[in-house]
Structure 1
Amino acid sequence: MKVEIWSDVMCPFCYIGKRNFETALAQFADKEYIDVVWKSFQLDSSIPEVAKESYAEYLVINKGMAKEQVKGMLDNVTASAKQVGLEYNFDKSVMVNSLNAHKLLQFAKAKGLGSEAEEVLFRAFFTDGENIADQATLVALGKEIGLEKSEVQTALSDKKYEDLVKADIQEARQVGVQGVPFFVMDRKYAVSGAQPAQAFTQNLEKAYTEWRKLNPVSKLEITQGQSCTPDGICD
């Protein structure tokens, strides 16, 4: 069963939501039948590739929030992240456009490493204060999860991956995504926001029960004979 997750790597609740979803999935009895697909979403595509503001300054200048309000909000989010084992360092976060980061995600998805890419990108932005628009940084993050340097460099300059980012964002509009994180289960049920693990568990169970009825496990009556297996054993 497919679970699609729309997320922006610069969204603090997306990282928290990822952890809570992973907690629920780890405890889900039929997790081997769950296919997690990460989808791109940009909360603000107008942010420049070169950092001009801190995270707090960005909220004050672009969102019209008071400094005291921003400080209180970031302190609360940092505390929420800590509760699920995440370390947020907003004072170190580099506010840059997330498009290049999403291009890396799209390439990683094609290699079956979407979840791994999301993890290193979130950590780079929220914990380590790395520049997620910088190509050298993204190449290093790609290598960390097993991608080849030359392939990542090519992907970051290939318009195909930018088009995939835009396609995900367009699809989000069609699905009805108004904010992230947004988790869609079998295109029947959705969980919006960084909900507790229990909320994911409940929706996973409900969606999976319905999906399994339409996709029953095939039980074949097998007559055995001599054969060869993929590990090279023939008998």
Structure 2
Amino acid sequence: MENKMKIEIWSDVMCPFCYIGKRNFESALKQFTDKNHVEVEWKSFQLDPSIPEVANESYQDYLIKHKGMSAEQVAGMLDNVTQSAKKVGLEYNLDKAIMVNSLHAHKLIQFAKSKDLGDAAEERLFLAFFTEGKNIADLETLTQLGKEIGLEESEIQTAFIDDQYAYFVKQDIQEAQQVGVGGVPFFVLDRKFAVSGAQPAEAFLETLNKAFSEWRKLNPVTKLEVTQGQSCDTDGVCK
């Protein structure tokens, strides 16, 4: 298996800048010439673990009540976020957003990671929360979202029943504290460089190039001196 530079992304699926940051990072990754030599892992983070699983507040009401902001301030902030999202091709319908605890959603992400579908799970849950107004604490809804990204329905229940996935979520959050994550999104490259927040694609690309350059010095490409002889190639041609 090829040794790759690791990129870890701490994120909460209820964080509007995490979805925007994901798009900017993806844009940078498309321009990054060594993108095939990096491995991306999504890490769980909960901005507010105290939010109940049963919805009782809108996004706007939640911010007014828990963040001490006026209705006018909240309306202006949500409009600014919506416009920022639009600039990267995302449609935010924050008036439809259902404020619920994100723990079950993170359990699903952790399970999806075990099937190499972590990025697909993040993407689907972001869309569900910010655009479609789906309840991401509802197990039936999460099961349907899991099926849409290719997970088997019978296996999805494992994410909610097996305590190890809740443990993985808590482990990620504890690790975030050790790394120094003060907010999300937070991108860590090779445990040496970090990008905090939904930075422009150019900032991500600059850090990608810097981190990979350092990583490559310690992980050089192996070049073999080959003595040729009769052999069969990958197309099955023997000569």
TM-score of the two chains, using structure 2 as the length reference? 0.95
- From 129, 132, 139, give the equivalent of 1:128: 132
Q: Which residue of 2 aligns with 1:152?
A: 156
Helix, strand or coil: the match of 2:128? helix
Gaps of 5+ in 2: none
Q: Which residue of 2 aligns with 1:176?
A: 180
**Match status 1:82 vs 2:89:** no
Question: CA separation in 2, counterparts of 1:26 and 1:217?
Answer: 22
Question: CA separation in 2, counterparts of 1:171 and 1:97?
Answer: 20
Q: Which residue of 2 aligns with 1:33?
A: 37
- From 103, 109, 115, give the equivalent of 2:113: 109
Deviation of residue 16 (structure 1)?
0.2
Question: CA separation in 2, counterparts of 1:94 and 1:76?
Answer: 19
User: How do 1:55-70 and structure 2 match up within 5 A?
Assistant: 55-70=59-74
Percentage of pairs with the same residue: 70
Question: CA separation in 2, counterparts of 1:64 and 1:151?
Answer: 42
C-alpha offsets along residues 172-210 of structure 1, whole Å, 9 cap, x if unaligned? 000000000000000011000000000000000000000
For the aligned residue pairs, the C-alpha RMSD in angstroms reads 1.2
Q: Which residue of 2 aligns with 1:215?
A: 219
Distance 1:31 1:224, change over 3 A: farther
User: How many corresponding residue pairs?
Assistant: 233
- After TM superposition, what 4+ stretches of structure 1 lie above 2 angstroms from structure 2? 221-229
Helix, strand or coil: the match of 2:126? helix
- From 7, 16, 23, give the equivalent of 2:20: 16
Question: CA separation in 1, counterparts of 2:188 and 2:78?
Answer: 27
User: How do 1:35-50 and structure 2 match up within 5 A?
Assistant: 35-50=39-54
Greater Cα shift, 163-172 or 142-151? 142-151
Deviation of residue 224 (structure 1)?
4.1
Q: Which residue of 2 aligns with 1:94?
A: 98
Q: Which residue of 1 aligns with 2:58?
A: 54
Question: CA separation in 1, counterparts of 2:229 and 2:111?
Answer: 42
Question: CA separation in 2, counterparts of 1:105 and 1:47?
Answer: 19
C-alpha offsets along residues 110-144 of structure 1, whole Å, 9 cap, x if unaligned? 11111111000000000000011111111111111
**Match status 1:193 vs 2:197:** yes
Deviation of residue 77 (structure 1)?
0.2
1:226 corresponds to which letter in structure 2? S
Q: Which residue of 2 aligns with 1:139?
A: 143
Gaps of 5+ in 1: none
Q: Which residue of 2 aligns with 1:226?
A: 231
TM-score of the two chains, using structure 1 as the length reference? 0.96
